[in-house]
Amino acid sequence: MPRDPLIALVGKPSSGKSTTLNSLTDATSKVVPNVGDKPLVERCKPNYGVCNNGTRSVPIELLDVAGLVPGAHMGKGLGNRFLDDLRHADALIHVVDVSGTTDAEGKATRGYDPSVDIEWLRSEIVRWIQGNLMEKWCV
């Protein structure tokens, strides 16, 4: 029997990952990684999940991954351990703090450009995957 989809919430520290997990699942997330498994609700006609009085419940698991920082693929901020939590995820949701009040490491600041987070986090994940492949291929 196939397992429920696992969706990982990724982003820098203090970007809202745990708040997102808590609001979607009624979890009380404080320690990472956290898994929430309260079903998300959609309209009926399910290919997957169940339907009850016109409302479909789709079981998924959400994984709240610890905050990643630039250099995570090289182990900065325990990055390799946190990136390793992504191995079993079927999809990633990048949670971005668009307020501009936290820098790339989640520290309080003003006027930070959140688009920078999108670029470096994508790069960290790609470099981590490449590093794993190179290690396996003995290159």
Mean pLDDT of the chain: 78
pLDDT under 50: residue ranges of the chain: 31, 41-43
Q: Which has the closest alpha carbon to 72: 9, 4, 33, 126? A: 126
Neighbours of 43 (CB within 10 A): 9
Alpha helices for 11-138 (secondary structure H): 17-25, 79-84, 115-136
Secondary-structure breakdown of the chain: helix, strand, coil percentages, each rounded to the nearest 5: 30, 20, 50
Rounded to whole angstroms, the maximal C-alpha distance in the chain is: 56
Q: What is the pLDDT of residue 113?
A: 95
Q: What is the pLDDT of residue 42?
A: 47
Q: What is the pLDDT of residue 124?
A: 85
Q: Which has the closest alpha carbon to 86: 139, 122, 138? A: 122
